[in-house]
Structure 1
Amino acid sequence: MQQINIKSDKAYRMANELSRLTGESVTQAITTAIEERLEKIRAQTRSRREGIAERLLALGTRSVALPILDPRAPDEILYDENGLPKNPMADR
C-alpha cells in the first residue's frame, strides 16, 4: 500500500473536518471526495467532447451545402503539372 504525505495544513484540517462530519475515516473521506471530483471532471470532459463533435458535424453539414465555385478537381487546385504542391502565391 502506498501513502500520501499531505504537506498542507489547510488540506490536513479539511480532511479531518470532512472525516468528523461524515463519520468516515480520514482515508475514506479523502477517497470519496477524490472519487466525486474525478466523476465531475470526467462528466465535464465528456460533455466538452460531445459539444466539439456536434460543432464539427454541424460545420461539415454547412460545408457540404456550400456551392462549388471552382470547377477544377481538387488535385488540379493543389498540385502543379509535376505533381508538386502549387505555390499559392504564384496564382496572384
Structure 2
Amino acid sequence: MMRICLHGFVSGKVQGVHFRQHTQEEAERLDLDGWVRNLADGRVEVLLEGEEQAVRELTAWLEHGPERAEVSGLALEEQPLQGIAGFLVRR
C-alpha cells in the first residue's frame, strides 16, 4: 500500500471534549504516525501519516470525532511525507 500524509484542521466543538486523546487512540489503533494539537482559535490541528486506507479511515472518524464533540468542519490537504514516528498529542 501507498503511504500518504494529510495536514489540516477540525472546527466546531472540538476542545474540552477529549478530542486530542481520542484522536491519538484512533491513530494508534490504525498504526498511524503524526500529531494533534489544540489551537488558540478553538480548532484542532492534525497531521496524519501512514497507509492510505488507514489515513482515510481516521479522516472519516474526524468528521464526527468522539461522542461529546460537534464537528462543523474538516479541511485536510495532502502533504509530502514527514517521516514522523509515532503519534503525539502536542501542547
Give the TM-score of the pair, scaled to structure 2: 0.25
Q: Which has the larger radius of gyration?
A: 1
More helix by share: 1
Q: Which gives a bigger RCO, structure 1 or 2 (Cα 8 Å, sep 6+)?
A: 2
